[in-house]
Each structure stands twice: as C-alpha cells, then as structure tokens.
Amino acid sequence: MATMVTAPSNSLMVLGTSSGAGKSLMTTAICRILFRQGESPLPFKGQNMSNNAWVDINSGEMAYSQAIQAWAAGLEPICSMNPILLKPKGDCTSEVIHLGKSVGIAKAHTYYKEWFKPGWKTIKKGLKELKETYNQGRFVLEGAGSPVEVNLMHRDLTNMRLANFLKANCLLVADIERGGVFAQIIGTLSLLSEEERNSIKGLLINRFRGDITLFDEGRLWLEQKTGIPVIGVLPWIQEIFPPEDSLDLLERKGKKNNAELEIAVIKLPLLSNFSDLDPLEAEPSVQLNWIEPGEPLGQPAAVIIPGSKQTIKDLEQLNKSGLGNQIKDFAKKGGHIFGICGGMQMLGNSLEDPLGLEIPKGKNPQKHYSGLNLLPLSTVFDQKKALVNREVFGCWPKSTPLKGFELHHGNSKVIHGHEEEVQPIAEDPTLGWFLKDQSQIKIAGTYLHGIFENSQWRRSWLNQIRKQKGFQNLPENEPHYRVKREALINLLADIFEEHVDLSPLLKHE
C-alpha cells in the first residue's frame, strides 16, 4: 500500500462540475489568499492536458496554469507541481510529459491501459518532491474536468483518487453561466461515494451576472438539499485572465473602445503557448483579432503567427484554407508580421522532417515542406527538444534585456547566400531574425516564448507599427509584464475574498 504524503495542515482540492467551471482561477485565488495569510500553499495538478506550457528553472515542461498558481503562491514554478502534462497532437494522440520530461506518445484509446500505473507513480513522486522541498506547505490541488465521469472514475488519476489519497477538504465549483447549475451540483454529488461526498466541504457558484442577492433563495435550497455550505457566489469577472486551453479563446472576443491597432493572431488548429499573447491582450491600445483558417484576414495593422504543437500540419491547414496566401499578400503590401516558435518556422522557406516527428512516416512519406517564403530560413526537426530558460540581450527593435524560454524541436538557420538579408533579433543569433528593409523592418520571428512580457521590447515593436499608422509612440519605460500579472492575481484574490468564505475548507477534523 502506498505511503500517504502528509502536510502539516489539511490539503485543499478544487473540483469542478465540468471542464471550464473555473477551477484554475479558483485555485490561483486560494493560493494567493493563503500566501497573504502567511501560509506556504503548494499548487498541484496531478495531470493536465494543455499545449500551453511553461519551462521551469530545471528545463522541464509544465502547464502554464500551474506556473501562474505558483506565482500566486509566491513560489518559483517547478514541474513537480504538474507531474503529468499531456500535449495533444491532434490525431487522438498526445505527447506524455512526466515531471517535465517527454516519455512517449499515448493513444487516447489505450492511455489508461498503458499509462495509468506509471502515471500514478509519477503523481506520488511529484507530491513527495514538493513535500520534501516545502515541508511546511499546504497542498492546494486542482482537479481536472468532472470528478464523476462514470466510465473513467475507476482510473481517474487526478480527481477523487488524489483527494482520497491526501484526505483533502474539497471545494466543488459550478459555472452558473452554462445554465443548469442545480443539476450540475446535485448530479455531481449523487455520483460520488458517501466517503467522497463527505470530503466536499463547500460549494461555489462561479460567473454570476447581475445582483448576487437574487441567488439567495437558490443558495438556501442548495444548502438544505445537500447539507453543504455554499461558501460563495462569484460575479462575472471582466478582467482578462489567462485561460487554460485554447477553447477559452472564444471568450476573448470583446472589443476595446479605445483600441487604435488591430492585430490579427492566427488561431492555428494545434495552437500552443497562446499565453505568449497575454501581454498584448492587456495593452489598452491593442485589439487582438483571432483568425482561424478559412476566415478572412481583413486589414489588420499587423499579423502574429503563434506557436504550434504540429507546425507542418498547421502550415498545411493555412495553405489549404487560403489563409497562407492572404498572409503572403499582406506581406507584399508592407504589412508587419511576427512569428513565434512554430509561427517563425512557417515564415521560412523550408521545413524538413526526416524522423517523421511532425507527420508520422506511415501517414506521409514526404520529408520536405515549403514554408510561406517570407524569411530566408530553413528548419529541420530532430529528436532533441530545446527546453531552456533564457536571459539574453535583444538588439531589435531596440537594445534591451530579454527574458523568456525556448520550447521547440526544430532548429532553424539562415539559408546560405541570404545572410545579408536578415539580422538576429538578439545577441544569441539562433533565437530569431528580422528581415532587413531600407525603409522599415516588417517581418520577424523568434524562438523566445514570453517575448511580449518584456515590456520595453513589446512597446518598441508596437511603436514601429504605430509610426506607420501615424500614431504617437507609447511610453517604452514600462515595467515587466509580471508586474501586471501580479496586479491581476491580487485583483482576483480581492474579489474572491470579498465574495467567498474559505473557513469551512480550512477546518481541521
């Protein structure tokens, strides 16, 4: 029998009646509140499925949502906070990351048969590592999806199995915006065992629009029906917070009244690391417009092609849909284009996949693919993945320190004979390039995820575009985006504290 991992105080767990109920944000808020109270909260999500990743100080991959929770807890993100990360590849397979390292490719229909035992072992190892590093910490656990998927409950790695293992006090979050909130809660509780129901110490209603007192009667009914206190009703939060997966990008379509620049972001089918765009979302003068293949590009001030989990597949979709030609036409007209990681690879002339990492050999024997031919680069995909935090000095569009991380398989280089056409954007010439132009530089790309978090760099890039459009320059002496992120986390915690009473969750039994 496995040895119980214990913490000095009761572990907490945030469960949801469904995916997207708000578990990640609630966990983030709880971490910040406990941190404010002098505790050492330890965020932990046993298994996460997301292509929005972060690279920790030990060069390991983890979900970005757990990185945010670590910052909320006043900690440096480390992979033991998210011991299993599944990165969907778009063909019913996922790359499996265990404690930061890639350990294989899993097929959906055989995942639990092949990966359940090693997965549970990895989760326990992550707990043990965190406990040994922070021996006075309280685990703040986040569940995944619904805890009562009856066909999966017996092999669910990261909901009630983990709650039972740590004897955690659980909070059940329901999203009233989706409708059917009473059925969500009653249905979920009815499918739990008696022991599991007894671990639910509080209910939380999320995303309530309007006068919260209008839910008083519903609150009373739920408490009488379930015997569990409704510890809070949270209003709809208008501030922008990072979503957990790309489906949540659908919630980012609100218009800014004072936006001066519209930037088109290509919403790739296998989009990854879209949190790279959060700092631009937070710019009052910028309106991001997410464009899917098949939709018209329009007439934006600039185009950004973000990262991709499967660059070649997404490139083929761009070309098949005609969006690739629209991007090329935009470039010919002098449009500003910036590619991040896979997006930069697409801007190049050629992509080679000799090992079938992007397109499995059995499905397509082709090894050479044409890019958008907007930067004279060639990319070759190889087995080794670049995973490293970087601090470098940028030299374009202005000289400024840069922080970020690399997370990619492909290696790109300037095509021989074209060295005079492009220049590196940073002191490390492998991190990205910009296309030289006698009048203005309009096409560039980088492998540095998080580059827009560097506020001086971001504002300098925006000011190039603003100058072309006839707008005044924005101040470039802005603090790093982490200052804004801290303010957002504090705001979230403030709202949470105003509307939620955590005391039922914190009681010792």
Bridge partners, 426 (sequence order): 394
* Angle at the Cα of 169 from the Cα atoms of 165 and 175, rounded to 5 degrees: 110
480 classed as catalytic: no
φ/ψ of residue 47, rounded to 5: -140, 130
341 classed as catalytic: yes
Please identify which residue in the block is written with the tokens 């990681």.
Answer: 341
Q: How far apart, in whole angstroms, are the C-alpha atoms of residue 280 and residue 278? A: 5
Which one of 341, 409, 416, 418 is the catalytic residue? Answer: 341
Task: Provide the residue type at 102 as one letter.
Answer: S
Please identify which residue in the block is written with the tokens 């670049």.
Answer: 386
* Angle at the Cα of 408 from the Cα atoms of 352 and 278, rounded to 5 degrees: 125
Task: Provide the residue type at 465 as one letter.
Answer: I
Q: DSSP secondary-structure letter at 358?
A: S
Radius of gyration of the chain (CA): 24
Q: DSSP secondary-structure letter at 449?
A: B
- Please, are residues 54 and 77 in contact by the beta-carbon 8 Å criterion? yes
Q: How far apart, in whole angstroms, are the C-alpha atoms of residue 142 and residue 158? A: 8
- Please, are residues 73 and 41 in contact by the beta-carbon 8 Å criterion? yes
Tell me which residue of 327, 333, 340 sits closest to 408, measured CA to CA: 340
3 state DSSP class of 484:
helix
- Please, are residues 442 and 337 in contact by the beta-carbon 8 Å criterion? yes
Which one of 449, 480, 499, 508 is the catalytic residue? Answer: 449
H or E segment to which residue 170 belongs: strand 169-175
Q: Count how many Cα atoms sit within 13 Å of the Cα of residue 156 in the half-sphere of its side chain.
A: 21
Residues assigned a catalytic role: 341, 449
